Chain A
């Protein structure tokens, strides 16, 4: 991690400590309107905290402002993505939320997806109108076998399917970053997962800084950076604000926002789901921290928000979704999500807009 990031812990221009703002609770929305909607400058940590602690009767106002920000700085299009696991389970890391860690008594067994199946999954994704297809592996970082499988898979998809290819293969070496860029991988996902101050409670087998370094290498190689995390892993509201600010500092092209879906056998199996209203506040606050990013609905939204809440999030800052199934769990049918986007009159981003 670089020195600039260390410096981000101190307030920057436009921030102030909680409770010291003029007309603190109602005032933050007026401040955000001028700062984020007007000038396109994301909220800082303390400002995000004020949004996250607004009373529930202000949530509609918060969502409405976040939607205005999204429309102004990103536009009405929604980016649709499908994902598939090329290597499932048996991961040596101990991410406490993950059913694919080999360290826990999870029912998830190791599996590999062959190249023809990978191409089939990409075709299924493209058929929904999606412009992004992400190949994911449960690993610390890719070994030679996985890199070879990904190389063959990317080539086969490029030959047969008109879709952008993203990868999520854990921590990378510089050589691997360069290899993926040379293959034509358009975007790389590597989540920070949780704020720096909470990371050691979530993962002990690697550090937050190691993740940050991979993110920096990805961007330096010219790939788009996708970096987000999971809400509801025991972090405080203040730490949630810290996380938004850290993502603001990193400034990824895309931020996938997951809500914890507690998995049997993992250390977080007994954690409660995030309440719907809390999830909506988080979505809106993250949009106000990251006015220009692609803010994507990822795992857990079906259970945390349900149908109505999902729509509210789409009208509260979200401008991208994962459609269909996830890596080890199932999602809503793509048809239902596409129908929802039609009802909301939100066009699906076309491939020509992503190149």
Chain B
């Protein structure tokens, strides 16, 4: 499953890379985007908190204590 396929969450201001946690405007995140094809997000794109992630056979959920839960699958 692709990392972004079927993601359900409200539009947010994505400040941080959800793969490496760095500021999106700092550096090149093409490798992060490629990695995300085969991985769930690990950092909240709004506050860069580490997400509590549960992977299931057909999807994942990723929860941020402040910004809620994103799901895919």
Q: Residues of A with Cβ closer than 8 Å to B? A: 82-85, 88, 107-111, 113, 117, 120-121, 124-125, 128, 264, 302-303, 323-334
Contacts and interface: CB of A to CB of B under 8 A. Distances in A.
Given A109-B50, A109-B51, A329 B58 contact: no
Contact of A330 (B3, B51, B52, B54): B3
Contacts of B43: 107
B55 A325 contact: yes
B56 A124 contact: yes
B21 A85 contact: no
B39 A82 contact: no
A329 B57 contact: no
Contact of A323 (B42, B51, B54, B57): B57
B54 A124 contact: no
A83 B51 CA distance: 21
B57 A302 contact: no
Contacts of B55: 84-85, 88, 325-330
A4 to B, nearest CB: 38
- Chain A binding surface, main DSSP class: loop
Top 7 A-B pairs ranked by shortest CB distance? A324-B57, A107-B42, A82-B57, A124-B57, A124-B58, A121-B56, A330-B38
- Chain B binding surface, main DSSP class: loop
Given A88-B55, A325-B55, 14 more contacts: A84-B55, A88-B54, A107-B42, A109-B51, A113-B54, A117-B56, A324-B58, A325-B1, A327-B55, A328-B40, A330-B1, A330-B55, A331-B38, A333-B1
Contacts of A88: 53-55
B53 A325 contact: no
B52 A302 contact: no
Interface in B1-36: 1, 3, 20-21
Interface of B: 1, 3, 20-21, 37-40, 42-43, 50-60
Nearest to B51: A109
Contacts of A113: 54
A113 B61 CA distance: 11
27 contacts: A84-B56, A85-B54, A88-B54, A107-B21, A107-B43, A108-B42, A109-B52, A110-B52, A113-B54, A117-B56, A124-B57, A124-B58, A128-B57, A264-B20, A324-B57, A324-B58, A325-B57, A325-B60, A326-B55, A328-B53, A329-B38, A329-B40, A329-B55, A330-B55, A330-B60, A332-B1, A333-B1
B42 A334 contact: no
B38 A302 contact: yes
Contacts of A323: 57
A114 B60 CA distance: 14
B53 A329 contact: no
Contacts of A124: 56-58
A324 B53 CA distance: 16
Contacts of B52: 109-111
B57 A121 contact: yes
Nearest to A118: B56
Contacts of A128: 57
Contacts of B54: 85, 88, 111, 113, 117
A170 to B, nearest CB: 19
Contacts of A82: 57
B39 A329 contact: yes
A214 B1 CA distance: 34
A82 B58 CA distance: 9
